[in-house]
Structures are given as C-alpha cells and as structure tokens.
C-alpha cells in the first residue's frame, strides 16, 4: 500500500539495537536475501497499483478514449485486465522467489 | 423430466457427495481439525481457498450488482481479487513459516501478549459473524425459490449439512468438501454463461463476448448498445459510474486490504506443507477465482440486456413465467402507474422501499403493493438485484438442467464459505481463548472436543441470524472487509515487516482502527441512516470505503505508540528473522 510509512517496511530498521548477534555470516546472507525480496516486492506492488488503481480508476477516463475490441480500455482494466495481471504477478513472484532462495541457499 | 425434479436430483446428489467426503475425512487430532494436518497440496488448497472465498455474495449477488451499476461494480471485481496479490506477496508465506494454527496465534506470539491475542480474537469473531449471517440467508433464498420450502426450513437444512462436515471433519473435512463445492459452483456458473454469451453475441467465451458485437444485426458492441439503451431510458451510461473517484478508490482499497486480512482466508494458507507452497497456492486460488470473476461482468451485462428486452413494454399478462415466479417470492413487483397493462422499465424507483404486498391482485393479475408510488419516475418495475444470476437461465430460456445446476451451485457457494467461517470462529475459541489463554492445562482430546462444541454453538448462532436477520445484518456484511482492513491487516503486516513494532503499538493500533471504522459505519448505517449521503461523508468516503482511513489510523497510532514505548524483546526479533526465511517451515508446524 502507498500509505504505509516506508520506515515500517525497512528491513534493517533497528534490528541490531538489542544486543550482539552471534552468527554474523548467516546473518548477512539472510539480510541480502531479505533486501532483494523487498526490492522485488516494491516493484511488483507498484505494478499491482498501476493496473488497478491507476488504469482502472485514476486514469480510466483518459484510457477510455482507446478501445480493445468493444471494451473502452479503462473499463477493460477495471473489469478484466487488472485481474489477469494480478494472476501473472503472483506466479512471477513465486518463480522469482524460488530462484532468489536457491541463490542464497535458503529455500524450503 | 421437469425442472423441479431435476433440481431435487442435482441438489440431493451434491449434498450426498459432501456428506460422503465428510465421513471419509474425519479429523482425529487438533492439528487435523485446525489445519488439515498441514499437508494439503498447494493446487488443491488453492481450489479449496477459491470455494471458501467465493460466497453467496460472489455467486448470487455480484453479477446482479454489476448488471445494475455498470462501471461501479468494478470495485468488487478489483477489490476481491487484488487482495490475493497482497496475500501472496506480503502475508501468506510468512504466516505459513510461522506455522501455527490461527491468526490470533500469530498476533499473540509476535506481540508477546495475551491481550493482543484476545483483541485479535474479538476482531476475528466480529468480522466472521457479520459475514456468516449473509451466507445462511443465501442458503435460505435458494431453498425457498428452488426447492419450495420456507426460508426457515432451508436454513435448518443448510445448518445440518454444515454441522455434519465442519464438526466431524474440521479443516480436513472442510478442505475436501470445498474442493467438491468449487467444482460444482464453477460448473454451475460457467455453463449458463457460455450459453448466454453465445445467444447474445455468437461468441461462447463470456470474457470475449462482452467485447464483441451484439448478435442482432445492428453491428453495435455489447457495451455500446447497453450505453445507448440505458441512456434512452433515463439511466446513466453503463460504462460510466455514479460513484465519485475517491469513493471508488477507497472502496476498492478497503476490499483488497480486507480480503488480505480476513481470517478464514489467511488460515487456508496454514494447511500447505511449505512457505513457498503458500505463495503458489495463493496463485492457484486466484486463477480459480478469476475464472468466475472475469465471467461475472459479462453475465451482468448480458443479464441487463436480456432483462430490458423481455420486460420493458411487455404486457404483464404475457410476461414470462420467471417474472411471475420471482414476483411470488417477493423479489419482483410491478405497479401499473399509467394503467396501460404494459410494464415500463425506466430509471428511478417505482415506489418507496421494498414491496409490501397487500395480498390482492390487480387488473392484469399482478400482486398489488401498499407502498407509496414514486410520482417522479415513470418506472413501474421493482427488481431485487440478487435474482439476476439465479433467474438468468430462465430469462434466457435455457433447459431445466441448467437451472437445476445453478441451484446446486448457489448452495455450494454459500455452504463452503459458511463452513470456513465457522471453523475460524470455533478454533479461535477452543485454541486461542481456552488452550492459549484461559485453560492452558487442557488436554489434546479436551481441546478437540471444545473445538467441536464451539463449532456447534457457532452454527446455531449463524442459523439463528439467518432465520431472523436483524435489520442490520444485510447492511453490515459488506463491512466485514472494512473492519478486517482496519484491525487485523496492519497488525499482521507490521508483525512481519517491522522489527520495532511492539505490543503496545499493535494493540493501540488494532483497537483504534476497529473502533473508528465501526463507529463510522454504525453512525451512517444504524444511528443516522438518513444522513448517509455524500455531503456528510468524511472526505467524500462512504461507509463501504472507510476501512482504508481506519487502516491509516491503525498504522499511524501503532507507529506513534511504538516509538514512545519499549522495543520488543530479543526473542521476538529472532522470531521475525526466522519467519522471513522459508527454510525449516516443516518443523515449525509442530507444537
């Protein structure tokens, strides 16, 4: 969501505040994994926002000048297109995360 | 064979299937009762999630709402699917890695606090009960129209079926019956949609049909024709909405975030073997849901065209049988304002409120009503939007077995959602309140028994609400989403993505989000319904969309309070580290 305070989602935020960490090597590996995950999350959530709230609501009137078959384009995004993109986003994330997890040897 | 016999056969067969599965998949342990043993295949779980998710509202009401509100219906289409992206990306894999049984489990452990757990249970019960009453009502409507039994009897039959597989089988029984219910409901939704799309446009795929030209030689596209016809009759264009942009934005957001915060949906992701399976499962769930959700706008548009063509300017005496059937179920009414014996369908209300029939019949044989006629509109027809999907096969003159299929599908949709909701209510009572808070010494057997008793009690309350719906239930069902968005979602989200969020912040956030959203809805829906107009709304946001503001308040208060209080202990930060990496989820599920 756009209205979340970005500092909340910041992974490293105060994580070292409470006492010494024991296993620093695993830790830096996990941190790198986590920040790569966060970057991917922000990118995909941005697409999620653009196809639904953007194309389907905020810029609908503009997009409605164009059409896709008998659908005005903005209306198509609101009632069809956004849903197709949602499905693709989840499967892309699933596939990409599996790769990232293997890279850091953290897969389940 | 006549339609009535076919309906009895279809509904009877589907019910025996559910009961058979329930007997086959009885739960033997609390783990099987709460999370189906934690070993459900992600695709199977996706299908069960889809059935769990798609309620009587999705199956019966949504296409009707879209049919009568055009573009404005998009809030449900985007809102009820976009939430799955948030679930898959932001919540499900981490909650699965955490690996316990309920949503309050996560909140109670992550915020190291029994108070936080109890607050989460209160939010959960509140959300789930407002949602479930509508399901039992849906069961009642389908029974009364198609099986010719009174609504009360219909609700009792529905309760008995749900009792059987939810109480015996727990999550295990529910999962496998939901798979069967998904198959029944999606087949029942798609078959008439193919037929109707083919009849109206010549293209049997509804998603393509809605973008094609109408099959009447005019060369107009479906949406063009709807816009023209509706504007002729005094309505707004179908592809234009009547809601303001900010309201459409906020309602969509509230439904999306609410979807991601609904406990009965989240808990389904506790049943798969691994954290990565939770992501995969959410993807499959959305595919199964998208099949119905991309079909619904087509069904809605075709239904509106067919409705106008068969009703407007038709003499009542020659009205089709379905019109009179639904009229006798109180969901359609006609009042002959100009005395010409023909039904005029125009914009505006035909009369004030929902029809109150006098019991007498008028000159054309119609049921007379006692309501005050609205003199400002030429419209003579009242139609309840909920009937569109159920009446569609009859309106399009489809064969009897399609009508029977739709009856079985509507029941599958309502029963599967009711069962999922009952399960989260009962497990939050037996697991979160008894086992984890008030009676930690309870045995495994005792907890399982308590879960079954709680499920039974919840079914009785839900049935009561279905038979005697208090005026506010129907109004409030849609608000379960706003409440979930404003209370549970922020607490779970920050529990995963922030290491500094502490118990004081989370509790203050949940309470303020819930109280604000509930008060706003209660004020406009219960206390001062007359004031419920855009001019009085905060920033022009209707009660349906206010959950988004509640969510922002929740986040803001939680962050402010957490800055002023102690940061969470080291063990909690270790817990967060461990849920963020997928490795090792298998072990975490054992208590």
Helix (H) or strand (E) holding B423: helix B400-427
pLDDT for B485 beyond 80: yes
A51 assigned to some structural domain: yes
Q: Are B307 and B282 in contact (CB under 8 A)?
A: no
Tokens at B427, concatenated: 């497990």
Torsion of the alpha carbons at B238, B240, B245 and B249, rounded to the nearest 10: 40
Residue B213 touches chain A, beta carbons under 8 Å = yes
Q: Are the beta carbons of B283 and A48 separated by less than 8 Å?
A: no
**Chain B residues with CB inside 8 Å of A69's CB?**
208, 211-212, 221
CB atoms within 10 A of CB B462: 27
> Is B545 in a helix, a strand, or coil?
coil
Reduced 3-state DSSP string for B556-587:
HHHHHHHHHCCCCCHHHHHHHHHHHCCCCHHH
B366-375 pLDDT tens trace: 888 888 888 8
Tell me the mean pLDDT in the region B206-233. 88
Of B143-147, B462-466, B474-478, B571-575, the poorest mean pLDDT is in: B474-478
Name B382's bridge partners. B333
Residues 6+ apart with CB under 8 A from B535: none
pLDDT given at position A71: 92
**CA quadruple A79, A81, A82, A86: dihedral positive or negative?**
positive
pLDDT given at position B153: 85
Q: Are the beta carbons of A3 and B221 separated by less than 8 Å?
A: no
Q: Are the beta carbons of B84 and A14 separated by less than 8 Å?
A: no
How far apart, in whole angstroms, are the C-alpha atoms of residue B352 and residue B536? 23
What single DSSP character describes residue B340? S
- Chain A closest-CA separation from residue B485 CA (Å): 12
> Could you tell me the residue ranges of all domains in chain B?
3-17+40-306+398-469, 332-383
Torsion of the alpha carbons at B278, B279, B280 and B286, rounded to the nearest 10: 100
In B, minimum Cα distance to A92 occurs at: B283
How far apart, in whole angstroms, are the C-alpha atoms of residue B518 and residue B486? 9
Residues 6+ apart with CB under 8 A from B429: B121, B450, B451, B454, B458
Q: Are the beta carbons of A70 and B211 separated by less than 8 Å?
A: yes
Name B315's bridge partners. B342
Tell me the mean pLDDT in the region B554-571. 94
pLDDT given at position B362: 84
Of A24-33, B185-194, B229-238, the poorest mean pLDDT is in: A24-33
User: Which of A18, A57, A68 is nearest residue B570 as measured by Cβ atoms?
Assistant: A18
A83 assigned to some structural domain: yes
Tokens at B568, concatenated: 């969470």
Residues 6+ apart with CB under 8 A from B406: B188, B189, B192, B389, B390, B392, B393
CATH top-level class for B3-17+40-306+398-469?
mainly alpha
A62 assigned to some structural domain: yes
Helix (H) or strand (E) holding B358: strand B357-361
Strand-strand pairing, B381-383 and B357-361: unpaired
A8-39 pLDDT tens trace: 433 443 444 444 444 555 688 888 999 999 99
- Chain B closest-CA separation from residue A2 CA (Å): 10
Which of B591 and B472 is assigned the larger pLDDT? B472
Domain containing residue A80 = 47-108
Crossing angle of helices B503-522 and B114-146, rounded to 10°: 30
Chain A contacts in chain B segment 568-587 (CB below 8 A) = 569-570, 573, 577, 580-586
pLDDT given at position B475: 58
- CA distances to B121, B122, B367, B514 from B436, in Å: 12, 15, 57, 23
Q: Are the beta carbons of A70 and B567 separated by less than 8 Å?
A: no
Helix/strand number for chain A, H first, E second:
5, 2
Tokens at B335, concatenated: 């009042």
In B, minimum Cα distance to A27 occurs at: B577
Secondary structure E strands in B227-316: 314-315
Strand-strand pairing, B357-361 and B367-369: antiparallel
Residue B498 touches chain A, beta carbons under 8 Å = yes
- Chain A closest-CA separation from residue B562 CA (Å): 11
Crossing angle of helices B245-261 and B488-497, rounded to 10°: 70
Residue B504: name the closest of B213, B116, B46 by CA: B116
Q: Are the beta carbons of A52 and B221 separated by less than 8 Å?
A: no
Q: Distance from CA of residue B453 to its chain's centroid?
A: 25
Residues 6+ apart with CB under 8 A from B249: A53, A57, A58, B545
**Chain A residues with CB inside 8 Å of B539's CB?**
none
- Chain B closest-CA separation from residue A55 CA (Å): 11
Of B35-39, B49-53, B569-573, the poorest mean pLDDT is in: B35-39
Residue A99: name the closest of B87, B96, B276, B269 by CA: B276
> Is B481 in a helix, a strand, or coil?
helix
Q: Are the beta carbons of A4 and B555 separated by less than 8 Å?
A: yes
**What percent of chain B clears pLDDT 90, i.e. is strictly above it?**
31
Question: How many alpha carbons lie under 13 Å from residue B218 in its C-beta half-sphere?
Answer: 15
Residue B587 pLDDT grade (very low, low, confident, very high; cuts 50, 70, 90): very low
Residues 6+ apart with CB under 8 A from B522: none
**Chain B residues with CB inside 8 Å of A14's CB?**
499-500, 567
A23 assigned to some structural domain: no
User: Which of A80, A86, A97 is nearest residue B85 as measured by Cβ atoms?
Assistant: A86
Tell me the mean pLDDT in the region B315-339. 86
pLDDT for B164 beyond 90: no
Interface size A-B, in CB pairs within 8 Å, comes to: 173
- Phi/psi-derived region of residue A21, left when phi > 0, alpha when psi is between -120 and 50, beta in every other case: beta
* This prediction's pTM: 0.88
CB atoms within 10 A of CB B294: 20
Residue B202 touches chain A, beta carbons under 8 Å = no
How far apart, in whole angstroms, are the C-alpha atoms of residue B84 and residue B441? 38
Residue B562: name the closest of A36, A82, A5, A38 by CA: A5
pLDDT given at position B93: 92
B423-452 pLDDT tens trace: 888 888 888 888 888 888 888 888 888 888
Q: Are the beta carbons of B221 and A69 separated by less than 8 Å?
A: yes
Q: What share of chain A is helix, strand, coil (3-state, %, to 5)?
A: 70, 5, 30
- Chain A closest-CA separation from residue B15 CA (Å): 32
Q: Are the beta carbons of B85 and A45 separated by less than 8 Å?
A: yes
A30 assigned to some structural domain: no
Chain A contacts in chain B segment 261-280 (CB below 8 A) = 274-276, 279-280
Tokens at B503, concatenated: 């118990």
> Is B99 in a helix, a strand, or coil?
coil
Q: Distance from CA of residue B309 to its chain's centroid?
A: 30
Which of B129 and B208 is assigned the larger pLDDT? B208
Number of domains in chain A: 1
């Amino acid at each position: 969501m756009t209205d979340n305070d970005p500092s909340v989602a910041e992974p490293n935020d105060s994580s070292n505040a409470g006492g010494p960490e024991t296993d620093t090597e695993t830790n830096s590996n996990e941190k790198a994994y986590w920040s790569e995950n966060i970057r991917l999350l922000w990118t995909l959530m941005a697409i999620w926002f653009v196809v639904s709230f953007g194309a389907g609501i905020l810029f609908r009137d503009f997009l409605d000048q164009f059409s896709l078959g008998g659908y005005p384009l903005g209306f198509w995004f609101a009632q069809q297109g956004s849903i197709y993109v949602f499905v693709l986003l989840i499967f892309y994330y699933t596939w990409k995360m599996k790769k990232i997890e293997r890279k850091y040897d953290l897969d389940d | 064979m006549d339609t009535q016999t076919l309906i009895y056969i279809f509904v009877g067969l589907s019910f025996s299937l559910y009961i058979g599965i329930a007997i086959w998949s009885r739960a033997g342990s609390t783990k099987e009762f709460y999370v189906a043993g934690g070993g459900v295949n992600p695709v199977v779980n996706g299908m069960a999630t889809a059935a769990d998710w798609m309620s009587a509202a999705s199956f019966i009401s949504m296409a009707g709402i879209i049919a009568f509100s055009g573009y404005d219906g998009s809030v449900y289409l985007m809102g009820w699917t976009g939430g799955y992206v948030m679930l898959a990306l932001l919540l499900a894999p981490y909650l699965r890695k955490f690996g316990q049984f309920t949503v309050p489990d996560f909140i109670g452990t992550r915020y190291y606090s029994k108070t936080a757990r109890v607050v989460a249970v209160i939010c959960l019960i509140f959300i789930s009960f407002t949602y479930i009453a509508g399901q039992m009502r849906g069961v009642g409507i389908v029974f009364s129209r198609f099986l010719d039994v009174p609504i009360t009897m219909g609700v009792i039959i529905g309760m008995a079926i749900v009792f059987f597989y939810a109480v015996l089988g727990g999550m295990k029984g529910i999962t496998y019956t939901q798979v069967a219910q998904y198959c029944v409901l999606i087949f029942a939704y798609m078959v008439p949609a193919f037929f109707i799309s083919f009849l109206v446009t010549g293209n049997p795929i509804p998603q393509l049909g809605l973008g094609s030209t109408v099959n009447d030689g005019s060369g107009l596209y479906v949406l063009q024709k709807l816009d023209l016809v509706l504007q002729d009759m005094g309505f707004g264009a179908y592809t234009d909405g009547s809601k303001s942009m900010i309201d459409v934005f906020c309602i969509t957001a509230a439904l999306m975030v609410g979807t991601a915060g609904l406990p009965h949906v989240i808990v389904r992701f506790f049943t798969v073997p691994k954290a990565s399976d939770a992501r995969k499962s959410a993807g499959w769930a959305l595919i199964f849901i998208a099949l119905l959700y991309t079909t619904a706008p087509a069904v809605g548009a075709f239904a509106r065209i067919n409705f106008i063509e068969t009703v407007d300017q038709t003499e009542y005496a020659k009205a089709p049988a379905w019109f009179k059937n639904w009229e006798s179920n109180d969901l359609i009414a006609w009042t002959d304002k100009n005395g010409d014996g023909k039904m005029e369908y125009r914009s505006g209300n035909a009369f004030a409120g929902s029809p109150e029939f006098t019991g007498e019949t008028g000159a054309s044989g119609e049921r007379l009503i006692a309501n005050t006629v609205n003199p400002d509109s030429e419209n003579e027809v009242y139609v309840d939007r909920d009937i569109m999907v159920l009446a569609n096969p009859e309106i399009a003159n489809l064969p009897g077995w399609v009508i029977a299929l739709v009856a079985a599908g509507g029941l599958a949709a309502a029963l599967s959602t009711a069962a999922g909701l009952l399960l989260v209510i009962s497990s939050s009572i037996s697991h979160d309140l008894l086992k984890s808070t008030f009676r930690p010494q309870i045995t495994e057997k005792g907890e399982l028994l308590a879960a079954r008793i709680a499920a039974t009690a919840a079914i009785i309350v839900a049935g009561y609400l279905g038979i005697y719906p208090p005026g506010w239930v129907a109004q409030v069902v849609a608000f379960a989403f706003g409440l979930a968005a404003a209370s549970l979602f922020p607490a779970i989200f920050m529990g995963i993505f922030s290491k500094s969020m502490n118990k004081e912040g989370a509790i203050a956030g949940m309470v303020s989000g819930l109280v604000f959203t509930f008060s706003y809805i209660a004020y406009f829906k219960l206390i001062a319904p007359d004031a419920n107009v855009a001019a009085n709304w905060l920033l022009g946001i209707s009660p349906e969309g206010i959950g988004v503001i509640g969510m922002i308040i929740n986040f803001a208060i939680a962050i402010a309070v957490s800055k002023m209080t102690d940061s969470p202990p080291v063990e909690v930060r270790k817990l967060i580290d461990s849920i963020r990496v997928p490795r090792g989820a298998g072990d975490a599920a054992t208590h």
